[in-house]
Every structure is written in C-alpha cells, then in structure tokens.
Amino acid sequence: MERLSITPRDHWEDKVASAGLVYYSPAGEGMDRPYWDESACYRFTEAEIDMLEAAGNTLQRMCLDAAQHIIDRKRYAELDIPAAAIPIIEWAWENEPPAIYGRFDIAYNGDGPPKLLEYNADTPTSLLEAAVIQWAWLEEQHPNCDQFNSIHEKLIAKWQDVAPYLSKPIYFAGLDNAEDQLTLAYLRDTAEQGGLSTQQILMEEIGWNADRQAFVDPDEQQIFSIFKLYPWEMMLTEEFGGAALEIYKDMRWVEPIWKMLLSNKGLLPILWELYPHHPLLLEACFEGRTGNSELRDYVRKPLHSREGANITLVRDGVTVATTGGPYTGPAIVQALAPEAAYPDSLHPGATRHPVLGLWIIDQECCGMGIRESTRPITDNLSSFVPHYFD
C-alpha cells in the first residue's frame, strides 16, 4: 500500500460532474481541498487486494453470525433496540427479505492485517464515488492497471435477483441533501438497469393514510416497496415509526429492519466476545463494563453515531481529540487501530489518515473506496481518493 501524489486530470471537475458527482468540492464547509481529490491516489499490490477481499468476506460471515447470536440470546437491550421492534426484526431475519449492500470501514496501513472499525450496514454512502467515479479515473489515468471494483455490475445483478420480490414501482426515499440524493439517484439507476421501475421521493413527502393503514406518496398512491436511505433507529422515533412496524410485513423494505443489529456500534463488542483476539478485530466492550480500564488507547463511540460525530479519542489514558454532534446515550469503547498516516508531499507538514471502505453487495465483498482525513477521525468532510493495483 503506497500513497502517491499525482497531477489531477485536465478539466477533472467537468468530468466528475458529468458522471453524476455534483458535490465534488463542497463550498463554505471548511474544506482545505476538494471532496473528490485526485491529487493523490493509493497503489496496492494484487496480493493486498486479494487479502482485503478475503477479509471483507470473512467479516460479513462473522457479522451474520453475530446477528444470529444477538437474536438467539435476546441481547437487544445492549444495543438499545426498542422493544416494539424486536418481533419484527426476528420475523424479517427468518423470512430473509431482500438486502442489497453494506460497507465495512477498515483501518489498514500495509503492515499487518486490516482491522474493522465499524459496519455501515443500513445507510452507507460514497457509493457513486467508489463504483463509478474512481473507475472512470482509472480508465483514463491507469488503463493498464486494475481496481478492486465490481460494485456497479454486482448492484445491477442483485436488483435483477430481487425484482420478483418487489412490487412496482419501488420508491427511493431519502433526505433533501446533496449526498443522499446523489446516492439515491445512483442506486435508482442501477435498479432500473436491473429491470425495476422506480420513483424518487423525499422522506418528508411520505404520508400516512390512517383509513387505508398505508404509507402513500404525494399523489396518495400506496407505497408497497421502498428503499430508504434513512436509518431504521431514527425512523422508529418519528411520529409514524410505530405504523412502520405495524405494517412492516405488508411492505417490502430495503434495507430490511434486521440491519439495525449490524449498523449498531454494539456489534463491535459482541464480535470481540464471539471471536476474541481475531486478527481482523479490535478489542471492544460496552462502556462501563469490566475491561474498560485495561484499554489505555481507545475511541469512545455512541451506539448510533454517524459520520465521525461524538467520538472521543484517548491515548495513554488522556483525551487527545473529540468531535461534536447530536448523539448521546449508551456507547462502546474500542481499542485504537495501528496508525495509518501518510505525509502529503503537496502540503508540507500535512498528514493524511486513510480509511478503507470495503463494499458488500449480495453478501460478497466486491469493491473498495478510500476516504482521507487530516486527523485520525474520519468525518463527513473527509476527502475521497481513488486507488488502483498492479
């Protein structure tokens, strides 16, 4: 694994925008460089890519086993899962409704095994960047090399596979922000290439018709199938979250509600319990449990935190970094991963911290995207940089 400083393509802004990435350089958000940053890239060996692919597949199997363990042992309270959701989670787990994708966030520096940081199993983003934008960059910049990336083809194949289970059209719903709408538009495009009819909608446009006991679109058409880029744990706190549980079995929800078990940071200590000292894991425990005092270098993460919010980083027992945010409540403690830090030759004195995102489509690891930060905590302003291997 090697970080290379490179010259961006001429007119790269037009090229990525024409491919759909319209927020390649967010304005007014304190960015010291573009979100899509092709002034650098990462080069891997083929052996490293094989190892990362195998790691992603192994972690997926481990996480599914952990979900079964949570269900079998009724460990929902530790994950702060609402009691009303438990019967529906168990029903969905047993009936195996369609599940499309997820993304493991991995720490790796080229030395030793990669380490799982967390699993974005319900609403992962940066999908278009990983699947399409960096592939176009590769074809232009390194046409004789390869990239760990069959995400686009696997998504289309998966939509084709689940099409018989989904009523038409399938609604694609999310919040009214650029990142979510971009991800939804891309997923919708792959679904249509897979033969599905689709319709895009904002979460706030979804209505509840009490007389029909149904969710409806602005035209009062009943919604039977929906992909929602909105976390289940947040949706269940909404005014009509209870209604979603009541009629769950009458609709087709993507991602399914059992993803609440995997997108929760509480998954990390349970994985450590089930697979102690596994080379792909970092020691983790629920905050307040016996064993916390043994960790001197760790991060504290609320169970439902996202995009690097409300994280506390501790070295040798001393807090060295914190982030703000809205997430409170129960948390986990996770050992620090071996540091991945690379000097940035274009910015003397600057250090870049990469996190690898291993994409899971249809239960298989099939691609990778890399986010870089100027500090050890990755957040929503971290840049995306392309990669290749030879």
pLDDT greater than 70 at residue 290: no
What 3-state class would DSSP assign to 161?
A: helix
pTM of the model: 0.96
CA distances 135 to 80, 157, 385, Å, are: 39, 18, 12
- Output the average pLDDT for the chain: 94
Q: Is residue 69 part of a domain?
A: yes
pLDDT greater than 60 at residue 18: yes
Average pLDDT over residues 246-258: 97
CA distances 159 to 21, 193, 196, 223, 229, Å, are: 22, 8, 8, 18, 16
Average pLDDT over residues 65-85: 98
Q: Is residue 308 part of a domain?
A: no
Torsion of CA 259, 24, 137, 46, to 10 degrees: -40
Beta-bridged to residue 116, according to DSSP, are 106
Distance CA 122, CA 389 (A): 29
Q: Is residue 305 part of a domain?
A: no
**What pLDDT, on the 0 to 100 scale, is given for residue 4?**
96
Cβ(330)–Cβ(301) below 8 Å: no
Average pLDDT over residues 159-170: 95
Q: Is residue 41 part of a domain?
A: no
Confidence at 150, pLDDT banded by 50, 70, 90: very high
Q: Is residue 384 part of a domain?
A: no
pLDDT greater than 60 at residue 303: yes
Q: Which residue blocks in the chain are alpha helix, DSSP H?
A: 12-18, 46-73, 86-95, 127-128, 134-141, 151-162, 178-193, 232-235, 241-246, 267-274
Percent of the chain predicted with pLDDT > 90: 87
Cβ(366)–Cβ(333) below 8 Å: no
**What pLDDT, on the 0 to 100 scale, is given for residue 201?**
97
Distance CA 54, CA 36 (A): 27
Average pLDDT over residues 326-347: 92
Average pLDDT over residues 281-301: 84
Average pLDDT over residues 122-148: 97
Q: What do you get for the CA distance between the two ends of the chain, in Å?
A: 11
DSSP 130: I
Percent of the chain predicted with pLDDT > 70: 97
- Which two structure tokens, joined as six digits, stand for 232? 């289940």
Q: Which domain holds residue 191?
A: 50-261
Average pLDDT over residues 238-251: 96
pLDDT greater than 70 at residue 26: no
Q: Is residue 310 part of a domain?
A: no
| Helices 86-95 and 46-73: angle between axes, nearest 10 degrees | 130
Number of domains within the chain: 1
Report pLDDT digits (tens) over 254-271: 999 999 999 999 999 999
Confidence at 32, pLDDT banded by 50, 70, 90: low
Q: Is residue 40 part of a domain?
A: no
Q: What are the b/e assignments for 237-271, b being 16+ CB within 10 Å?
A: eeebbebbbeebeebbbbbbbbbbbbbbbbbbbbb
What one-character-per-residue DSSP string does 293-359 give?
A: GG-SSEEEEETT--TTTT-EEEETTEEEEE---S--S-EEEEEPPPP--EE-TTSTT-EEEEEEEEE
Q: Is residue 377 part of a domain?
A: no
Q: What is the largest CA-CA distance in the chain?
A: 64
Average pLDDT over residues 23-41: 76
DSSP 261: G
Average pLDDT over residues 175-180: 91
